[in-house]
Amino acid sequence: MLGIEDKYVLAAYLLCIGSAALCVIYGAINWNRGEEPVEPDDVRWAEEEKKVEEEL
Amino acid sequence: MLAQTLGPLEIIIVVVYLLAIAYLGWLGFRRTKTASDYLVAGRKTHPFVMALSYGATFISTSAIVGFGGVAGMFGMSLLWLTFLNIFVGIFIAFVFLGGPTRRMGHHLDAHTFPELLGRRYRSKFIQMFAGLVIFLFIPLYSAAVLIGGCAFIAQQFGIHYNVALLVFSVIIAAYVVVGGLKGVMYTDALQGSIMFIGMIVLLIYTYVLVGGVTGGHEKLAALGADQPNLFSKIGFQGWAAMPAFGFGDAEGAADPKSYYDLWWIVISTITLGVGIGVLAQPQLVVRFMTVRSRKELNRAVLVGGVFILIMTGVAFTVGSLSNVYFMETETVTGTLLREADGKVIVKRQRNINAAKDPDNPDVVALPARLLYLDVNGDETADVHLIASAPGKLQAIMPKAVITPTGYQVGDTVTVQPRASAYMRALVPRGKDTVECMTSRIIPTYIGSAMPKWFGLVFLLTLLAAAMSTLSSQFHALGTAIGRDVFEQATGRREASIGVTRIGILVGIVIAVLISYMNPGGGFIIARATAIFFGLCASAFLPAFLGGLLFRRVTKAGAIASMIVGFLVTAFWLLLVKDAEAAALGLVFKVTGGKPSILADHATWHVVDPIIVALPASLIVMIVVSLLTKPPAAEHVERCFGRKK
C-alpha cells in the first residue's frame, strides 16, 4: 500500500494522516462548543499578564 | 559573496518580509494585540490565529532542518515522531490539558510554567527549581534552532557557517528587541502561514520529482535494499523500513552488540523523547492560559493537527525521499577546479561501517577522491566527492558517473553522484577533508533539487520558524530567571525585571556560543532538542499532569518527582548514554576511557533517559503523595474551582 512494504512505517504514515483527520473531525464537531463565561479570575489574570508583558 | 549569490530582487523580498514582521510587531506594540489584550477586552482570538501561533512556536528550524536531516539519514521511521507530534502534542494537549491549564492558571494567577507548578503545590522551592532548570537548559534547545537556520543560510548563500550564525543572530536579536517577545499573535500567525505554504510547495514538488506518492515510496524502498549501507551495522534496513528491533546481543549479526542501536536511537530518543516531552514545554504550556475559553481550544485542534502534519510530516517524508533524488536524478555540472585524494569524515564515535581515522581516533573517516567543482561560476569550489576504490567503499559513491570520461582539470564536467543524502551533505573541514553533516541534508536537497525561487521561500519559512520559536524560548528563559528564581529568592519585584532582561541576553549569548561550537555535525540538532524535551518530560511532566488533573498529589510528591526525574536524567546523560556522556566527558574519568558505564553491555548505552527517568519520576510522585497528608481542602478548591 502506498509503496511502503514495512508495516510499521506504513502504520506511522497512516497514523500521521489519521491523527490529523481526528483533529479535523474533533475540531469541526466541537467548533461551537465550549463557550465559557469570562470570570473575575480571568480578567484579573489577563490584566496581570498584560503588566508582565509590558514590563518586558 | 552574499550579494554575489543573491540577486537584488531576492534581497528586496527578504527585507520586505523583515519589515512586514517588524511592522506587525510594532502594531502589536502600539495597538496591544497580545492574547491577554483579547482576554481583557473579552474578545475572541480567531482560531486560526491561535493555532498558527501555537504551531509556529512549537515547530522550529530544529524540527524542519534538524529532524528532517535525520530522516534523510535514517528514513521514514521518523514519522512515528510526527504521529506523536499530532496525537500527543496537539490532540491530547489541547483536548485534555489546555482547558485545565487555563483554568488553574487563572485561578492561581500564574503567568509562567514554574509559577503554575509553584502555586499549585504552594512551594517556592518548586517554582525556583523549575525556573532554574529552564534557565540552564533552554539555551541548548535555542542553539538547536539557531544551528538549523544557519546550516540552511550557509548552504543557500555559499557562505561560511560562522558568517551565517552572525547574520542570523543579529536578525533574531533585533526581532526580540523590537518586541517579538510579547508573543504578538498576528506576527506568529503570519510566520505560521508562511511556514505552511513553504512546506506544502516542498511536499508537492518532491513527490512530483520522485515519481508520485506510491512510485516515490517504492523507489525509496528499493534503494534501501541496496546494501551494505554505512549504517547497516547498527540495524539500518532501508529508508522505507524500521531499523532492526531487539534488546541486547543480536545473534548472527555482523556486530551483535550494536545491531539494535538504531532502533533505540530513533524510537527512544527521537520519537519518545521529543514526542512526549512536548507536553511539559514551558513556552507551550503558557499558551493555553492566554485563550478565552474551551471553544478556542476546540477550534485550534482542527488547525493545529493539519499544521503539524504539514510541518514535521513533510520534513521527514521529504528528508527520506531526498535519497531517491540524490541517487537517481541529481546531476552536477561545473568547472573542475582541482582533484585530490582526501578523506570524508562520516560520523564521530559510532559503530558504523567505516574505519577509525588513524590521524584522529575520535573520528570515523573514509578515504575518498575529492572533486572540487565550481558550479555557480564564482571561481570557488563546491565540493563533490567520488570513491577512490569502487567495490571497497560501497558506502560513498561507487556508482558515480563523470562525463566526459577523459576529463582534465579546468574542463566543464557533469557528475551524477548517485549517493545517499547523507553522503551529499558535505562541509569542508581543512585541506582535502570533508565532513558529512546531517543538518546539511535538507539545505543541500533544496539547493540542488528545488528551483532557485523556492530557496528564498524556504529561507523565509525557516526564518519564520526560528523567530517564533526563539522569541517564545527567550521569553520563557527570561521570566524563569527573573520572575521565578530571582523574585522568589529576594522578593524584589522591580529588580526582577532587570534580571529578566539580563537573563534573556545571557541566554542568547550562550545559545550563540553553543551554536558556534557545534556547527551541525552528527545529529546535534536533534540530540540537543531531545535532551531538553526529555528533561522537561522527566522533571516536570508527572508533577504538571498530577497537579493539573489530580487533587491528591501533594507538595512532597511533586518535589520528590521533580528531583528524581532531574537526577536520573542527569545521571543517565553523564554516565550511561554514550553519545552525550562522551561529549560531556565525565564518564571517561569514571570508567577509565569508556564512553558509558554500560559500554560492555549491548543496547543500554543508546537507551534514552526518558525511558528510565519518566517512569521513575511518575512512580515516586504517586508513592510519596500517598504517603503524605493530602493538600488542604481550601487550597485544592482554589486550584480546581469548586466541585460541581
Q: Does B309 touch chain A (CB under 8 A)?
A: yes
Domain ranges of chain B: 32-323+453-640, 331-417
**Cβ within 8 Å, pair B39-A9:** no
Question: How many A×B Cβ pairs under 8 Å?
Answer: 174
Neighbours of A40 (CB within 10 A): 8
**Cβ within 8 Å, pair A50-B36:** yes
Question: In the predicted model, is pLDDT for residue B504 greater than 90?
Answer: no
Q: Does A14 touch chain B (CB under 8 A)?
A: no
More confident residue, B378 or B82: B82
Cβ density class B261-297: b for 16+ within 10 Å, e for less? bbbbbbbbbbbbbbbbbbbbbbbbbbbbbbbbbbbbb
Rounded to the nearest angstrom, the minimum Cα separation between A8 and chain B is 7
Fold classified for B32-323+453-640: Sodium/glucose cotransporter (1.20.1730)
Mean pLDDT value across residues B504-523: 83
Q: What is the DSSP letter of B60?
A: -
DSSP strand pairing (B332-348 vs B433-436)? parallel
For testing contact with chain B, the best of A19, A25, A35 (most B CBs within 10 A) = A19
Residue of B nearest to A2 (CA): B214
**Cβ within 8 Å, pair A2-B294:** no
Cα gap B39→B401, rounded to integer Å: 63
Residue of A nearest to B213 (CA): A2
Give the pLDDT confidence score for residue B2 in this predicted structure. Answer: 42
User: Under a CB-based contact definition with an 8 Å cutoff, are residues A36 and B295 in contact?
Assistant: yes
ipTM of the complex: 0.94
Cα gap A27→A23, rounded to integer Å: 6
Q: Does B242 touch chain A (CB under 8 A)?
A: yes
Greatest distance between any 2 Cα atoms in chain A: 57
Neighbours of A51 (CB within 10 A): 12
Mean of per-residue pLDDT scores for chain B: 86
Give residue B404's pLDDT band: very low, low, confident or very high (50, 70, 90).
confident
Question: How deeply is B454 buried, as exposed, middle or buried, from its count of CB atoms within 10 A (0-12, 13-18, 19+)?
Answer: middle
Greatest distance between any 2 Cα atoms in chain B: 87
Cα gap A44→B366, rounded to integer Å: 64
Neighbours of B490 (CB within 10 A): 11
**Cβ within 8 Å, pair B301-A33:** no
Contacts of B271 (CB under 8 A, 6+ apart): B78, B80, B81, B84
Residue of A nearest to B287 (CA): A49
pLDDT digit string, tens, across residues B421-444: 988 888 888 888 888 888 899 999
More confident residue, B37 or B24: B24
Give whole-number Cα distances, B512 to B159, B199, B485, B505, in Å.
18, 27, 23, 11
Question: In the predicted model, is pLDDT for residue B40 greater than 60?
Answer: no
User: Under a CB-based contact definition with an 8 Å cutoff, are residues B458 and B196 in contact?
Assistant: no
pLDDT digit string, tens, across residues B322-347: 999 998 889 889 899 988 888 888 87
More confident residue, B290 or B216: B216
Mean pLDDT value across residues B580-595: 87
Cα gap B130→B479, rounded to integer Å: 11
Rounded to the nearest angstrom, the minimum Cα separation between A41 and chain B is 6
Give residue B32's pLDDT band: very low, low, confident or very high (50, 70, 90).
very low
Mean pLDDT value across residues B266-287: 91
Cα gap A49→B108, rounded to integer Å: 12
Residue of B nearest to A36 (CA): B293
Give the pLDDT confidence score for residue B393 in this predicted structure. Answer: 46
Tell me which amino acid residue B633 is: A
- Between positions 135 and 194 of B, the ones with CB within 8 A of A are 181-183
Task: Name the most confidently modeled range: B126-130, B391-395, B591-595.
Answer: B126-130
Give the pLDDT confidence score for residue B135 in this predicted structure. Answer: 95
Helices B113-120 & B99-107, crossing angle to 10 degrees? 70
Nearest CB to A33 within list B181, B295, B500 = B295
pLDDT digit string, tens, across residues B10-19: 777 777 877 7
**Residue carrying the nine cell digits 506568529:** B188
Give the pLDDT confidence score for residue B77 in this predicted structure. Answer: 96
Cα gap B66→B77, rounded to integer Å: 15
Residues of chain A positioned with their CB less than 8 A from the CB of B300: 27
Q: What is the DSSP letter of B600?
A: T
Rounded to the nearest angstrom, the minimum Cα separation between B80 and chain A is 5
More confident residue, A42 or B312: B312
Nearest CB to A4 within list B90, B221, B309 = B221
CA atoms within 13 A on the CB side of B599: 18
Residues of chain A positioned with their CB less than 8 A from the CB of B242: 6, 8-9
Residues of chain B positioned with their CB less than 8 A from the CB of A2: 213-214, 217
* β-bridge partners, B364: B347, B356
Give the pLDDT confidence score for residue B392 in this predicted structure. Answer: 47
For testing contact with chain B, the best of A8, A23, A52 (most B CBs within 10 A) = A23
Sign of the Cα torsion B605, B607, B609, B611 reads negative
Give residue B44's pLDDT band: very low, low, confident or very high (50, 70, 90).
low
Rounded to the nearest angstrom, the minimum Cα separation between A44 and chain B is 8
**Nearest-5° Cα angle at B198, A2 to B158:** 110
Please list the pLDDT of chain A residue by residue as tens digits (56 residues): 898 989 999 999 999 999 999 999 999 999 888 888 878 888 888 888 877 777 76
Give whole-number Cα distances, B88 to B83, B96, B271, B301, in Å.
8, 10, 11, 11
pLDDT digit string, tens, across residues B215-233: 999 999 988 665 557 888 8
Question: In the predicted model, is pLDDT for residue B391 greater than 50?
Answer: no
Residues of chain A positioned with their CB less than 8 A from the CB of B221: 3-6
Give the pLDDT confidence score for residue B435 in this predicted structure. Answer: 87
**Cβ within 8 Å, pair A35-B91:** no
Mean pLDDT value across residues B185-205: 85
User: Under a CB-based contact definition with an 8 Å cutoff, are residues B233 and B220 in contact?
Assistant: no
